[in-house]
Amino acid sequence: AVLVGKTMTYDSGGLSIKVGGGMKGMKRDMDGGAAVFGAMKAVASVLKPRRRVVALLCCAENAISDEAYRPDDVLEFANGVTVEVTNTDAEGRLVLADGLIWACEREDPDFIVDIATLTGGVVVALGSTYAGMWCDDDKLRGRVDSVSQVTGERVWRLPHHEEYRDMMRSPCADIVNSAPVREAHPIQGAAFLSYFVESGIPWCHLDIAGVH
């Protein structure tokens, strides 16, 4: 089992800088990683499972400098997928992509769960009552649902179909990191991440932006 946590120590939006009060609270953009860190403490000290559990914390700061990445950059990831950067404020999915690739290629996982404060769109959709969940594997989704009921950390499944993956296509790379339309915004994040998970590996994405 591999747990992957988005751990942005601060998110200014980068060159696509957040405006108005948009930066307020962005020191909490590491809460996905914090959740994974806390889960590992419970795994080590309380649960003590017989299976191997690995945590990957994808750590970075999204800031402006002379070395900052830019809109219009094209990045090539370790699995060969190329990404056109259209918005540097969609940075969390870029660091998570690295974590997902590592999990698939290095850890031989039975399943992967990633946890991230990924999108404002999931807050619009679900408020602070439910975290968004994307998981096409029935067995893993059932496990997450069961754990959700025990812990009171409520999750709500959102759709994940090929049409959403197609939304992310780029004219000059394989995909963009943020589609030019706002529709289905939290699903865009999940669709992007799906390009970095190997086929056949059960995977669950949890967007906790509204409940962290």
Active-site residue numbers? Answer: 18, 93
The encoded tokens of residue 38 equal 């806390």
The encoded tokens of residue 172 equal 């000059």
Question: What angle (nearest 5°) sits at the alpha carbon of residue 19, between those of residues 16 and 22?
Answer: 105
Residue 63 has φ and ψ, to the nearest 5°, of: -135, 175
Nearest residue to 158 (alpha-carbon basis) of 96, 110, 204? 204
Sheet holding 203-207, edge to edge: 54-62, 2-11, 112-116, 203-207, 131-135, 155-157
Cβ pair 180, 84 in contact under 8 A = no
